[in-house]
Amino acid sequence: MSNGEPMSRMKVAVVEGDGIGKEVVPSALRVLDAFSLDIEEVPVEIGYGKWKRTGKAITDGDFNIFESCDCIFFGAITTPPDPSYKSVLVRIRQQFDLYANIRPVKGMGSGNNIDFTIVRENTEGMYSGIEHVFPDAVHSTRVITRRGSERIAEYACLLARGNKGHEGNNRKRLTIVHKANILRSCRLFREVCISVADRRGISWEDMLVDATAHRLVLDPERFELIVTTNLFGDILSDMAAALIGGLGLCASANIGEDYALFEPVHGSAPDIAGKGIANPIAAILSLAMMLKWCGKAEESDAVHDAVSRVMAAGVMTPDLGGRCSTAEVAEAVAAAIEKEQAT
């Protein structure tokens, strides 16, 4: 159980997964090694590779291992377009009720002052899993509940006040993103978010999702903290990734009451897998989110500082115009941390 409370000894389930997950996760763990922390890493093999080999992408035994750990550090898993394959990540989110998906969007380097966080509801909305298939139509049910909206709004308000165990800075203005002019489900979401923000004394504005997309492109620096429903959050956060240099830089956390999963926003990127050129920064920053969640704020800040220094020195993978390999970038980040600690 954590959320910024210090944990003495930690046990982390480590899932490399498929594709570049197998490259960026070991790189992030190399950065973790730069600290002398009492963290037990428990490797767990799940995903598409396992499904092809054994017919199962994840087993009850894997869930038992997850339950014996404090949290999961996750790379990426390929989801094939096969109707019999159920997304492993969705199953983990459901099993541990990881209702808050947190995606910080922060520009790196001078001249880029973008710095906001997207808080996406992670368990309902368009991803409720309730679908009715007819011969010539499919009905996907969008579920928005008072309880689901209330807990994500409460979480966003805690982040706005800067007192959750990750990426919350000082007081922030909350932007409630919805489509309440059309969807009654969004009317409920909006109404609940506003009442929670008022109760918690958080300043807020509300914005239609289409207007938000427009303003994110034109004026991203105006945003501080966004709370929204599942599908809108999914789309806006990939869009936001493009504002700060691409998916290779974007970290995320899936948070529940007493469990969490940390993962880069990107997928398994089969087009570059095995070439050693995947950007490990998203995974390294996801590791920093994990450290903050489990009460190791100093180490988390040290990772952020080291990443900034390494990028400023031009140590970057090809997606950012650099010439370094995945391992070289991770090694440079680890070395920057070790150097700082030695002084």
Give the C-alpha separation, 316 to 324, whole Å: 5
Give the C-alpha separation, 171 to 163, whole Å: 9
Closest CB 27 distance from ligand ATP, rounded Å? 10
Q: Quick one: which segment of 150-158, 189-197, 221-229, 275-283 binds ligand ATP (CB under 6 A)? A: 275-283
Of these, 278, 289, 303, 316, which contacts ligand ATP (CB under 6 A)? 278
The DSSP call for residue 1 is: -
Of these, 62, 224, 319, 328, which contacts ligand ATP (CB under 6 A)? 319
Q: Looking at beta carbons only, is 157 or 278 nearer to ligand ATP?
A: 278
φ/ψ of residue 225, rounded to 5: -150, 125
SS3 315: coil
Of these, 166, 190, 266, 296, which contacts ligand ATP (CB under 6 A)? 266
Instruction: Give one DSSP letter per residue of 297-313, joined into a string.
Output: HHHHHHHHHHHHHHHHT
Using CB under 6 A, count the residues that bind ligand ATP: 17
Q: Looking at beta carbons only, is 24 or 156 nearer to ligand ATP?
A: 24
Site for ligand ATP in 68-107 (CB under 6 A): 76, 78
Closest CB 304 distance from ligand ATP, rounded Å? 18
Of these, 44, 98, 269, 330, which contacts ligand ATP (CB under 6 A)? 269
Point out the residue whose Cβ comes nearest to ligand ATP.
267
Q: Looking at beta carbons only, is 46 or 160 nearer to ligand ATP?
A: 46
Q: Which H/E stretch holds residue 17?
A: strand 10-17
If binding is defined by CB under 6 A, does position 272 make contact with ligand ATP?
Answer: yes
Of these, 64, 135, 271, 321, which contacts ligand ATP (CB under 6 A)? 271
Q: Which H/E stretch holds residue 192?
A: helix 184-200
259 bridge partner residues? none
Segment 179-186 long-range contacts (CB within 8 Å, at least 24 positions apart): 179/208, 179/209, 179/210, 179/232, 180/206, 180/208, 181/208, 183/142, 185/142, 185/143, 185/144, 186/144, 186/229
If binding is defined by CB under 6 A, does position 329 make contact with ligand ATP?
Answer: no
Residues forming the site for ligand ATP (CB under 6 A)? 20, 24, 76, 78, 247-248, 266-272, 278-279, 282, 319
